A and B are shown apart, each in its own frame.
Chain A
Amino acid sequence: MSHHDHSIDPKNLTQDPSKATMEGKHKFLGLWIFLGGETVLFACLFGTYLALKDSTAGGPSTHDLYGLELVFLMTVLLLTSSLTSVYAIYHMKNNDFKKMQLWMGITAALGLAFLGFEIYEFAHYIHDYGFTFRSSAFGSAFYALVGFHGGHVVFGLSWIITLMVRNAKRGLNLYNAPKYNTFALYWHFIDVVWVFIFTVVYLMGMVS
């Protein structure tokens, strides 16, 4: 039954267990291609936002709402989480499961903090300015774009937390290593999208 055993003998290490199997390679390429589709998805949302950002219908505008301090902090948190996920994958490639879990845990914590601030931001807009996705076309476009990104963060967090809990006692093997690897790729993508949101939504919204 040796064929059915996907665990790694620590003395017989594979370099990069995430790509040692066909399935691992399939998953990695599959996720890259999926991100190609996600790029179009976000591009369409950015396009919609750019077309509608000045259509405030008498409601709050970008100048009334945005403040740099909060989004700068959020940006720092999310970009750092990308870095920590790189550390996690580095340890995975060296078959160090404990350190990988630790760094993935830090990644998840940073992501949760980001999400907390985003929820705070939305609540602030709704309560203090009465700015909702029904207020104006601008409101709809803002919450659609930023909220869609936030939804991706939620999905990513549930993904990595599930993986970490699920594998806590099993250790690293050729079956679950690709799952961590694809998560990391997805997480980097979320960060890249946020960089664009930071620039196009917040920075441009404050200077224009």
Chain B
Amino acid sequence: MSVNSAHKSGFGATLWDWLTTVDHKKIGILYLAAGAFFFLLGGLEALIIRIQLISPQNDFISAGLYNEMITMHGTTMIFFAATPLLFGLMNYIMPLQIGARDVAFPFLNSLGFWLFFFGGIMLNLSWFTGAPDAGWTNYAPLSLQSPGHGVDFYVMGLQLSGAGTLMSGINFIVTIVLMRAPGMTYMRMPLFTWTTFVTSILVLFAFPALTVGLFLMMFDRMFGTAFFDVALGGNSIIWQHLFWIFGHPEVYILILPAFGVFSEILPTFSKKRLFGYTAMVFATFLIAFLGFMVWAHHMFTVGLGPVANSIFAVATMAIAVPTGIKIFNWLFTLWGGSITINSAMLWTLAFIPSFTIGGMTGVMLASSVADYQYHDSYFVVGHFHYVIVGGVVFALLAAMHYWWPKMFGRYLHEGMGKLAFWTFFIGFHLTFFIQHFLGLMGMPRRYWVFLEDQGLDAGNLISTIGAFFMTFGVLVFVINIFYTWKKGEKAPGDAWGTGRTLEWATASPPIHFNFKQMPLVRGLDPLWIEKMEGNNKMTPAEPMDEIHMPNGSILPLIMTIGFFIASYGFIYQVDHKAWLIAVYVGMAIGMGCMLIRSLRDDHGYHISKEEVEREGD
């Protein structure tokens, strides 16, 4: 299809193309592939945890390995599975939805991906030498006293990937502000673009707090400073504050794009415009704002005092209001619609009650007095898996089924889609519903074993059986991907026939410059408007002309490898100062690439008018 693919010859050229790409669609696919890989790793870790807890006083894995397992499961799932999978979707879909040819900073986009990817690789390489074991929250002083280098890998891996995430956030904001097609006013933007925008703002303000926290942790562990060392006047609560100033917005960084996904799928398969569009946009902002103001609800039992606890409790409960607005708007979108039930819709419909249960237990936890009972129990584990799995993972699977034909030109198999849905859905509720009750009966989270005949045996067994159901569902989905790759039914541009937004006005998959001519947007759901007026296509907003495109570059990859080497140096210079060489060499490579980037003018290239006309839709 694309000009580039015509020149491709063999594996080497294809690999080079993917390593140097600055195309937002390819980077989106890279994010999805890498995120899926880490998702499978994180899922495997979860399964091992559940097998260990299948029966009382089990000795399937040792206590130390169990600590590594829960730490890596949480860290991997949040930072290297959920976030990048959503960023992959944003990268692929958002520019198409606003009628742009690329993101504002294609080079930075590529750099952001590689930093995330090598951060994840770094973290997982720690399995060979000792993984981090201080929990995904990495609380000081536990993390300071953790022996070996596990926690150091956590610190450096998250620092690398966090830098990449911040770059993507800035990139998305500028793209949305400056690169919308003519007529695409803010209040005509699709909800997924809106949530990408608001999520990026959250990334912008949340990730620097993590950067600082990791920086302080790095210096305490590797260079002997005393930020968290009480003997020298340090204060370990600072880590908790910094971590949760980042960590609480992070869950909204995950859930808001999920809301955006559902807000795209429901109108498409209900054949109605989204109910309460304006209220949805407003609610998104309100959730984002409140999401920033409530971090201390993770610290009710730290001893901040009743006044602080009350303020944070009330602010936390207030989030239920805009979230409730959203839930009702989704229901009203369905109301009276001409509804198609397929795999994408099944995940969406299942999300509504599942997420609502998670929201209700959230309000229960927000009550700071009651939280003294729930704190660090399995009730909390049940709660956050209901919102993260029932919200984010359901959204990712819904989005995969919904946008797969757009991204790869083929439909995922419906039968396998439904099988995966039902097994995963049943398994999910089996696993996590019972955990609320285990928590109320006194089972603490993070415990390696539990004792016999304390009323916890049956619940844990059921929970583990559920985990196997979920595993089965994921495997069916993976098989579906391979089946679709080989034999899937081909999809046209408007794959569902009821597409409303601009991405459905392109070919499936889109040509590498997305739009031959920028489309003219005449209202909300622009493609739907054109279809209702009997036009098959968008009206172009500009004459056919040559198109300016950015050049690919290998520099982002090399730069990242430089910082990756330097990170190893930082970790191991504690053992032997010779490792400082790795710091210097790595930094020289990274900085050298930045210098090359500054010294060389890169004007990109132009696709001639004739070539643009020749490209098939």
Residues on A facing B (Cβ under 8 Å): 3-4, 6, 22, 25-26, 29-30, 33-34, 36-38, 40-41, 44-45, 47-48, 51-52, 55-57, 133-141, 144, 159, 162-163, 166, 175, 179
Contact of B211 among A29, A41, A48 (CB under 8 A): A41
Contact yes or no, A137 B245, CB < 8 A: no
Contact of B235 among A45, A52, A166 (CB under 8 A): A52
Given contacts A140-B216, A144-B216, A179-B598, 15 further A-B contacts (CB under 8 A): A3-B548, A25-B178, A26-B104, A26-B174, A26-B178, A33-B204, A37-B166, A40-B208, A44-B209, A47-B238, A51-B238, A57-B233, A133-B223, A135-B232, A140-B234
Contact yes or no, B598 A3, CB < 8 A: no
B105 contacts across to A, CB distance below 8 A: 26, 30
Closest 10 CB pairs of A and B: A55-B233, A137-B233, A140-B225, A41-B208, A44-B212, A40-B208, A137-B234, A57-B233, A26-B104, A57-B232
A26 contacts across to B, CB distance below 8 A: 104-105, 174, 178
CA–CA, A86 and B241, complex, Å: 38
Contact yes or no, B209 A51, CB < 8 A: no
Segment touching A, from B28-36, B117-125, B314-322, B599-607: B599-607
Q: Which of B149-178 contact A (CB under 8 A)?
A: 166, 169-171, 173-174, 177-178
Contact of B599 among A52, A55, A136, A166 (CB under 8 A): A166
A138 contacts across to B, CB distance below 8 A: 233
A136 contacts across to B, CB distance below 8 A: 226, 232-233
* 6 residue pairs from A and B, CB less than 8 Å apart: A40-B204, A44-B209, A52-B235, A140-B225, A162-B599, A166-B598
Least Cβ–Cβ distance between A40 and chain B, in angstroms:
4
Q: Which of B571-617 contact A (CB under 8 A)?
A: 595, 598-599, 601, 603, 606
Number of B residues whose C-beta is below 8 Å from A? Answer: 46
CA–CA, A17 and B219, complex, Å: 43
Least Cβ–Cβ distance between B104 and chain A, in angstroms:
4
B189 at the interface (CB under 8 A from A): no
Contact yes or no, B212 A33, CB < 8 A: no
B546 at the interface (CB under 8 A from A): yes
A141 contacts across to B, CB distance below 8 A: 227
Least Cβ–Cβ distance between A156 and chain B, in angstroms:
13
Contact yes or no, A30 B174, CB < 8 A: yes
A163 contacts across to B, CB distance below 8 A: 598
Query: Contacts A48-B216, A57-B231 hold; do A137 and B226 have CB atoms under 8 A apart?
Result: yes
Least Cβ–Cβ distance between A82 and chain B, in angstroms:
22
Contact yes or no, B104 A48, CB < 8 A: no
Contact of B212 among A3, A48, A139 (CB under 8 A): A48
CA–CA, A117 and B223, complex, Å: 25
Contact yes or no, B225 A29, CB < 8 A: no
B485 at the interface (CB under 8 A from A): no
B198 contacts across to A, CB distance below 8 A: none
Interface string of B197-241 (1 = CB under 8 A from A): 000000011111101110110011001111101011111001001
Contact yes or no, A48 B599, CB < 8 A: no
Residue of A nearest to B241 (CB): A47
Contact yes or no, B226 A162, CB < 8 A: no
B174 contacts across to A, CB distance below 8 A: 26, 29-30, 33
B242 at the interface (CB under 8 A from A): yes
Q: Which of B39-73 contact A (CB under 8 A)?
A: none
CA–CA, A57 and B231, complex, Å: 8
CA–CA, A57 and B225, complex, Å: 13
Contact yes or no, A44 B242, CB < 8 A: yes
Least Cβ–Cβ distance between A163 and chain B, in angstroms:
7
Contact yes or no, A52 B212, CB < 8 A: no
CA–CA, A4 and B173, complex, Å: 28
Least Cβ–Cβ distance between A21 and chain B, in angstroms:
10
Least Cβ–Cβ distance between B112 and chain A, in angstroms:
13
B224 contacts across to A, CB distance below 8 A: 134
Residue of B nearest to A29 (CB): B174
Residue of B nearest to A162 (CB): B598
Least Cβ–Cβ distance between A134 and chain B, in angstroms:
5
Contact yes or no, B173 A139, CB < 8 A: no
CA–CA, A140 and B144, complex, Å: 16
Contact yes or no, B238 A4, CB < 8 A: no
Contact yes or no, B606 A3, CB < 8 A: yes
Contact of B209 among A40, A140, A144 (CB under 8 A): A40
B207 contacts across to A, CB distance below 8 A: 37
Contact yes or no, A140 B104, CB < 8 A: no
Contact yes or no, A52 B234, CB < 8 A: yes
CA–CA, A163 and B599, complex, Å: 8
CA–CA, A163 and B597, complex, Å: 12
CA–CA, A138 and B245, complex, Å: 22
CA–CA, A159 and B231, complex, Å: 40
A57 contacts across to B, CB distance below 8 A: 226, 231-233
CA–CA, A90 and B175, complex, Å: 28
B209 contacts across to A, CB distance below 8 A: 40-41, 44
A56 contacts across to B, CB distance below 8 A: 233
B206 contacts across to A, CB distance below 8 A: 40
CA–CA, A25 and B177, complex, Å: 11
A139 contacts across to B, CB distance below 8 A: 225-226
Query: Contacts A57-B232, A137-B235 hold; do A52 and B227 have CB atoms under 8 A apart?
Result: yes
Contact yes or no, A144 B235, CB < 8 A: no
Interface string of B492-522 (1 = CB under 8 A from A): 0000000000000000000000000000000
CA–CA, A173 and B473, complex, Å: 57
Contact yes or no, B603 A52, CB < 8 A: no
